Each structure stands twice: as structure tokens, then as C-alpha cells.
Structure 1
Amino acid sequence: MTMTTNHTPHHTDVAIIGAGVLGLAHAYAFAKRGLRVTVFERSGTPVGASIRNFGMVLVTGQPPGTMHSLAQASRKIWLDWASGAALHVRRSGSLMFARSAAEAQVMEAFAATRAKAAGYDATLLSRAALDDLYDGRFGKHRAALHGRADLQVFSREAVPALIDYLRREFNVEFRFGTLARDVDGGRIETTAGQWRAEHVVVCAGHDYLSLLAPQLAVLEPRVCRLQMLRVRPTTPLALDHAVLTGLSCLHYGAFSDLPEAAALQAEVAARQPAVLEHGIHLLASPTPGGDLIVGDSHDYGDDPSPFNAQAIDEILLGLAEDTLGTGLRVVERWQGVYGARTGTSGAPFSVLRASPNVTGVYMHSGVGMSVGPALGERVVSHLLDGVALPAA
């Protein structure tokens, strides 16, 4: 591609396109090796998937193998970041509640087989422990799985804090409000002038058209949008765990291929078909101020619709109120968003070598917070040291 400016380019060792968690992970991995890193972000502050989510670093839900390993390694990186950047991190883990016999059977099968075989730090609570949990608030449920390795941050505070940490401790330069219009080898044309870099890494989230469009088109990308709520309990609830229900066993790969999940799928299809139709599973994540982030639904397409459905919000609120045993008042509504792929591939991420100097890294699922930090480390180790990339 032909560059449009003749000005002497600025120089940096590494150019990162995108200041979401995945871009920041790559910036961290390069910068801690002593390289000069510049991050370009088109918006004035990150506004994409990385701040619209639950803030979950979900280790328990990842399928065994590559994704579970990446999540375990990402957990360690998040704890390093928490120490360096003074991030608020909840370390109590997650609680997945079984509301029916079918949900309980999936969790019991997971605990008895996969959790032991694949090294998940998760266990079923005893009946007595469940009855005592939060003064008996959750005693009505049939069972509970405690994911002890899971962490939670408040994304809209954690991402800016991480940016400040990278600036302060590693001299990473951030160019916000700067669009990268074109990349040609180690040259980057931006709205702030032309730059040169030995390594260019594109972490542009669900933007499949601005950069590397021909390579991305082969992946048949889509966008997933999610309806999200921030709610305030009407009765006191000092929640220190993320909360899920057995519906998440149909969504997360640690559970969804277990034989017992088929019976749960049939039960939900018979009793709550709208839940499957809209890809709904409950996740309630506490914020530092005592509110809860509640969601979510999943709607896939080429362009995410800007219109939320009240009926979906009502299903989410009903699930949350029933699970938590309290009324909830909505204080914010928004759309989550992340990149996905068509049904022809279940690959959760892609690493594209567009040229010797240019690499694109894209998530195709909503677990960037959970695996992105370690994925960034592995990509940088591959580029600098020749370490093999993880198999998607």
C-alpha cells in the first residue's frame, strides 16, 4: 500500500494498535523486555469490549487444554498487575448455583471427572457449607460449585489503572484519539503522522474492516452483542463472589461437552426456550461500590443492532432476583460487544502473520479478560524468541 505522507516518520520499537486488554497485554509483554512501545487507540479512552464486561478472569469455565492453561497463566499476570497498578481484585472466586437436578448433575459430573483429571481448582460445596453461605441466602439451591481460581476486577477502573501503570513503570507511550489508517510492513500511517516500528501488533477488537481486512475476511468474522445491566440490590447483599447458575454449563467449554449437559439442554429447551433463543446465561459480578453487573444475552451478526429488547432485560432480572434472593433496581443499561466467528469454526482466537513485521491478534469469544494477558505473553515470546504459539 502507498503511504500518503512524505514527512520523516516517528520511530518506536513496537507499535500496538488498540488499547483494550489484549493490546495492553502485548504492550506489557514487550515493554518488560526493555523495548520502546507505543500504543495507538482511535478513541479518547478505551470504550470497547474491555470495559463493557463483567471483569471476570474466569479460569473455571475454560475448556481443558490450551484455554484453561492460558487462563491459569493470565490469572498470575492479573495478580502481578494488581500489585503494580493497585487494582481492586476480588479473589474469593465464583459460585455456580444449581437450581435444578439437571444443573446439579452437570456440576457433579464436572467435579468428579474433569476437575480432577484436568487440574481445575474447583469443588462442590457441602450441603452444610451451602446452607451457611451468606447467612443461608442461597440454601434453596440444590448445589454450588466454587471456582476458587476465578478473579474479578472492575473493568472501567482496571483498564485506566493498567494504562497508567504501563506509562509510569514501563514508559509505554499512548496515543489516544489517534486512528491507524494503514499498515505497510513496519510503517504505520496514523492521524498523528507516520511511524516506523520493528514490530506492529494489531489488537483491534471487533473492527474487521480498518486494518488487515483481507486476512480477516477469510476468518468469516462476526460481532456478538450482549445486553448488560448494573443493578442495586433492594436488600443488603455484601457479595464477594461472582455468581453464575447452571445455565452457564451450556455456555462454557469446561462443562458444555459433558454427557450430562445434553439433559440440561433438553430441560431448558422445554421450560425456557427464550433463554436458548437469546443465548442467555446469568452472571452477576459485584462492583467495588456494592452494585452488581448482571447479564447477559448473545446476539450474533455482521453489524450489532443498537436496539436492546426489554423482554431480554426482564429475563435477566428475573433470573438474577431468583438466584440472589433479592429485588434489584436497574441503574445502568448498556451493550457489551466482542468479536466472534461464524459457526464453521470454534477457534476462540486467531494470530495472523500479515507480514514479517505485522501480526494481528483477535479474540473470537468473550473471554479476553480471562486469557488475553497470557495470550499476549505467548505471542510476544513467539515473535522475539521463537516460542511456539498456542493452538487455538
Structure 2
Amino acid sequence: MSNTFDMNYEHPRIPLNDNVLANSGFADQNTPLVKNCWYVAALSHEVTREIFSRRFLGIEVALYRTNAGEPVAMRNRCPHRSFPLAKGTLHDDNLRCGYHGMEFAPSGRCVNLPSMINVPTNAAVRTYDIIERGPLLWIWMGDPDLADPNLIPETPWLESDEWKTVNDQFHMKSDYVSMHENLLDQTHFPFLHPGAIGTPEYARSKLEARIEDNKVIIERQLLNSPPPGVYAEPTKLGGIPVNRFSTAMFVSPAMHIAFARIVDITRHHGSEETYRFNISHIFTPETNGSIHYWWFCSRNFDLQNKETDKHLYESSQKAYTEDVDALEWILDVVNSDPEKQFDLNFAPDRPGLMMRRILNDLALSESGFDPKQVIMMAR
């Protein structure tokens, strides 16, 4: 890999219509959000018979469960006078608006309009496909005809008894493009998270990046070097040379996954052992400048050790809080600085730029534009 990246130039912008901007093929904080994607609406335990609302891709959605336990996602806006439906009540499986008493079935169809004997056929509110997979509820905010459940990313380790997971969540003021780039950028580890998840040797280790089916995959290995703090204590290999292998992946606009493998080459515990960690980052843009973010740290060893749970939770929460702080500071600078800047790009930024191009192409395609033609126009 060369020391500079050939995409290091200013990104001229040309308006295509009121909602789409071309920026030489790379998404940024202003790029329209990708709608045709499965995003996480909530953790399964969050959605109950108590109605609550959450904003996804700029749209407020009311969430609840039927008596049978089926999740419902309904636009949080009555079609009559825009009363927020999450402020209403449940009557059996129907959501009753708290303003005029209109009742909406889980399908969104109005089944009762107290002020009229016959309910007009156009009295309905939009509902969204929502599917439960393990601890996650996935929602489709885009074209309902394209909502294929087979496109939901698989996360079997979050459901398996062979893995133990600690997790938490943030509501953060950043854009999801920068969030994905942060997770693909492993060169910041030793500086933003010193001693926790990165070392200078790891940041300089060989990086391989490729694209497969709109996924960006980066692989890195560091041989014969002590593990960082987050892995040292659970494996009891602090200060001991190990072989460390990692695969990080931009899976979709909603997910980033990292697989870490620590191999005890010194047989410190009596035999060569391999310790695996699966890190899941799942986020749903609330707007172009805010995100619902869930993280999960899973391991396949020492499953009953509460101290290991505590260490991994505290180490992970600290590191991801540092990420959240950094990304919020960055977006604040970008939005508040009157003198615009086109950031420099270098060779290690290649995975992030791959991801930015994919997100840009997806956004343009949803808006009816050919990404290749748009890039030619921008040049």
C-alpha cells in the first residue's frame, strides 16, 4: 500500500435536486440517509405493552407489543390532526389516539372513529416491518416492497449459550458516516484509547482491505506481541507475547462487526489456546447528526466469570465513550467552523473511503441517480 491515497483531492459539490448532493463519490454528514436497510429499532426487552416513541431516519415511530407479544412499529403521527400516537393508549392490540379517540390496528388501519359510524377507507397510519432476532428488533424504514428478512445481518453469537456478552447503548450527536469511519480506522486506537484496545505496534501492522458485496472487510495481524489491556486481563496473558488476528467489517449502513482472535503461542496456560472476541456495533441514524448506538462485546471462554464480565464491560464502555466524545467534538467543529475544510486522506484511510463510496452510491441510487454518471458530472 502506498503512503498516499489517490482520492486526496477537494470534493466539488454540485446540486442535483433539493435533497441530493454529489461530492465526488464519497458520503459525508450531509449525504441523504440510506433508507432501504434493516436498522435496529430497539433491544427486544425495551419494547413492551408500554408505548414509547423513537426517531429513525428523521421519522418518529411509536413502538409497542400486541397481547401475543408481537412488536408493532407505527408512525407516531395521527393522520387526522398529527397528535403523537405514543401519547395515546392501548386497547387490546389497537393504539387509540389521545386526541379524538381514533383506534388503529397493528396493520395501521383505523378500526374505530368515534365521531363517525363508518370509518373512511383512507383513515390509516403507516406501519413499518419490524422483526425480532435474538436480542434485537430490526425495522425497515424504506420501500416496503424491498423489505426482505433475509437481508437482516446474522449475529448468532448474541443468541448462543456458547458465548457470553456484555453490552450497553448511547444516544450520540454524530453522523453515521463518521461512526462507520471511526470503527474502520484502527490507527486512532493507541491515541484515543491508550493502553486499552490499541498499541503503536498494532497501528503500524500490515493492513489488508477489500470490498465484497458492498461490505468493507479489513484484516490485520500482529505476531509475537503482548495483547492490549482489554484482552490481557480476560486471557491472563498480560505482558506475554501472543499472535493477534483481527477482522473488522462494515456490514451494512446499520452494522459494523469486529472479530478478534488471541493465540497463546507460549503455551502460558499449559497448551496453545485461542481466545475469541466478537464485537458488534449497531447503530441507527436518528437524523443526519444523531445516532442510536448499541455495542456488544462477546467472548467464547470463561463464560461464568463475573469479574471478566465486569472488566470487559468497563473497558469497552470507556473506549466507546471516548469514541462518542471524539465524534461529537468533530461534528461540532464541522458544523460550527465558518471556514470550510476538505480533510486530507492518507493510505490508512482507504477502508473508510471505501465505505463512504458505498454509502454515497446507495444514497444516490435510492434517489434515482446513477452514481457513476454523478461522479463524472462532479469532475
Name the TM-score, length of structure 2 as normaliser: 0.24
Which has the greater radius of gyration? 2
Q: Which has the higher contact order (CA 8 A, sep 6+)?
A: 1
TM-score (norm 1): 0.24
- Give the helix-richer structure, 1 or 2: 1
